[in-house]
Amino acid sequence: MGSGNAVTTPEDRRQYALFGGLAVFFLLFFLAPVGTVFVRAAGETGPGAWWSTVVDILSSSRTRSVVTFTVGQAALSAALAVILAMPGAYLVSHFTFPGRRVIYSLSLLPFVLPSIIVVVAMIGFYGKSGIINRILGTDYNLVYNFRGIVLAHVFYNFSLAIRVISTAWTGISRRYRESAESLGDSAGGVFFRVTLPLLLPAILTSFILVFIYCFLSFGVVLVFGGIKYATFEVAIYREMFVNLDLPAAAVFALLQILFSGIFIVVSSRFIHRSRAEALDTGTALPPMRTLAAVPRTVMTGYLVVMVLFLLGPITTMVIRAFTTSAGTLGLENFRQLLIPGAADRNVESILRSSVVGVIGRSLLVAAASGTVTFAAATAAALSLRGRRTALMDNALQIPIGMSLVTVGLGLRLLWQGTLPPVVLIVLGQFFVAFPLVFRIIRSGVEELSDRMVNSAAILGASRVQILRDIELPLLRRTFLNAYAYALALPFADLTIVMAVGRGRIATFPVAIYRLIGFRSFDLALAMAVLYIMFCLILFWIIDTTSLPKTRPRSERS
């Protein structure tokens, strides 16, 4: 940080205090819990025996299958997502058409939708009694197997790939292409010799992102994997809570951390190198052309299939939630869910809580965790402004590759008895959201010219005045966006809540998981729709109660 400055200013001191505090927080609630998992595991095998236990676990066929499956499904899902995304990215970056925004916005899906809702939607669409089978009059098992897992992962992530690739594609200066054309290259040649190489970093980035999400997948595999398939996350969870084998859980956690570490080191190389080269920010975008220039039918076909692929499962889920057992539209499912005694089964005993309790708990936990995460990320990003501190940036991103099950488990092992489980969930979820929230704010803050802030500083504005007068108004979008993620991620989190609460503390995602587990699929659908409604309300509140703009933008420009 201070890069050897001999002079210490009050600003420096504030920074040391801030990052000292963050370091202590990471140490107490992240590193120590993860360490505890390993220490306890070693303690259980007893001294001397731990090494042979590790070797036994490592050489078991179960471990081999977990490694093969985790890496294999992640690679396949990521490859499919990227391949499917390429035409979409081309469309989004080159043309304007109805639904363009929708496709772009849908890329937020993986972050906002809990995996468990994706599961519900996939079952409703592709499941044995799903829409596809009903239309075809068949009963193919499309979801509870390897295919289903990959399908869900592609569904979940492919629009993220569209977003990453299309952003880069839009940013590739037209001048490069035009230079190549003027030098006599053919259209295909320009694509393979100029565009594709410039696009490659974005393609790799999106592949790596999707790969890591799938690698760390928990909810989808927990439900669809049965006993046959398990990612590291699921394996850790099962060893811990089903087989009660802490040493095995620890070995899987260790392997997971190892793999993640390798992926992240490799990927950060790519991602860092890509930026400056691929993006030419100096050139204004060419005006969007219309769809007429491409073979209309081909592209329209692609769009229709993709929109169906993306919206089909979600729409089906909503419609089915409002469908009664008699097949008509109605609120039966919601009544059964919300009114005690209205269902054949005791919902409260399935959830171990009333539905109202689930909603209240979810909101409370998300609000607490989201606010703490947002405040910490904002403070960190603002004080790192203008500094290229790869070390600090990378350190703050570590939780991204960490097994969340392990973190939750460690929090439970280390702090249970000292802190109530709900607080442990809030702390654990901090690490779910922090890397992303920090990155959003950091990049927004970096885009705000350093000079803008310095201008205010030299005119005599204090730190607080700068935040109030310059940063908040100018970064309003960034902060809102970040806060929305800070709330949405814990709201959607299944992993930490399951690992800390062993499924006994019900938030929205856990409730849905339990309802599926107890074969109350219609109630799970209703619960999922309730969840989405709450999400929408939450975002609407954030958007409307946020700071008003200082004044409307010019009517003249």
State the nearest-atom distance from the C-beta of 173 to another protein, in Å.
21
202 versus 474: smaller Cβ distance to another protein: 474
Instruction: Decide: helix, strand or coil at residue 345.
Output: coil
State the nearest-atom distance from the C-beta of 448 to another protein, in Å.
10
State the nearest-atom distance from the C-beta of 470 to another protein, in Å.
6
68 versus 454: smaller Cβ distance to another protein: 454
Instruction: Decide: helix, strand or coil at residue 95.
Output: strand
Q: Which of 54, 203, 474, 484 binds another protein (CB under 8 A)?
A: 474
State the nearest-atom distance from the C-beta of 451 to another protein, in Å.
4
147 versus 463: smaller Cβ distance to another protein: 463
Question: How long is the chain?
Answer: 557
Range 250-279, binding another protein (CB under 8 A)? none
Interface region with another protein, contact rule CB under 8 A, candidates 285-293, 420-428, 540-548, 549-557: 549-557
Euclidean distance between CA atoms 198 and 171, whole angstroms: 10
61 versus 554: smaller Cβ distance to another protein: 554
Q: Which positions ≥6 away from 295 have C-beta within 8 Å?
A: none
Q: What are the backbone angles phi and psi of residue 416, rounded to the nearest 5°?
A: -60, 135
242 versus 284: smaller Cβ distance to another protein: 284
Range 484-513, binding another protein (CB under 8 A)? none
In the chain, the N- to C-terminal Cα span, in Å, equals: 41
277 versus 469: smaller Cβ distance to another protein: 469
Please state the three-class secondary structure of 127-151 as a single string: CCCCHHHHHHCCCCCCCCCHHHHHH
What Rg value do the Cα atoms of the chain yield, rounded?
A: 25
User: Exposed/middle/buried for 521, CB within 10 Å: 0-12, 13-18, 19+?
Assistant: middle
Distances (CA, A) of 429 to 30, 38, 400, 485: 11, 21, 12, 12
Q: Is 554 in the site for another protein (CB under 8 A)?
A: yes
Greatest Cα pair distance, the chain, in angstroms, is: 78
Q: What are the backbone angles phi and psi of residue 252, rounded to the nearest 5°?
A: -65, -40
Euclidean distance between CA atoms 143 and 149, whole angstroms: 7
Which residue shows structure tokens 């280390």?
A: 414
Euclidean distance between CA atoms 432 and 373, whole angstroms: 9
State the nearest-atom distance from the C-beta of 552 to another protein, in Å.
10
State the nearest-atom distance from the C-beta of 346 to another protein, in Å.
56
Range 417-456, binding another protein (CB under 8 A)? 449, 451-452, 454-456
Distances (CA, A) of 39 to 24, 27, 236, 478: 20, 16, 16, 41
Euclidean distance between CA atoms 11 and 17, whole angstroms: 10
4 versus 188: smaller Cβ distance to another protein: 4
State the nearest-atom distance from the C-beta of 478 to another protein, in Å.
14
State the nearest-atom distance from the C-beta of 355 to another protein, in Å.
44
344 versus 555: smaller Cβ distance to another protein: 555
Range 452-471, binding another protein (CB under 8 A)? 452, 454-462, 465, 469-470
Mask for 3-42, x = binds another protein (CB under 8 A) = -xxxxxxxx-------------------------------
Instruction: Decide: helix, strand or coil at residue 3.
Output: coil
Short-list 431, 462, 441, CA closest to 385 = 441
368 versus 466: smaller Cβ distance to another protein: 466
Which residue shows structure tokens 């006994």?
A: 504
Q: Which of 21, 286, 360, 473 binds another protein (CB under 8 A)?
A: 473
Euclidean distance between CA atoms 161 and 85, whole angstroms: 6
300 versus 550: smaller Cβ distance to another protein: 550
Q: Which of 284, 295, 297, 549 binds another protein (CB under 8 A)?
A: 549
Interface with another protein: number of residues (CB under 8 A): 32
**Site for another protein, rule CB under 8 A:** 4-11, 449, 451-452, 454-462, 465, 469-470, 473-474, 549-551, 553-554, 556-557
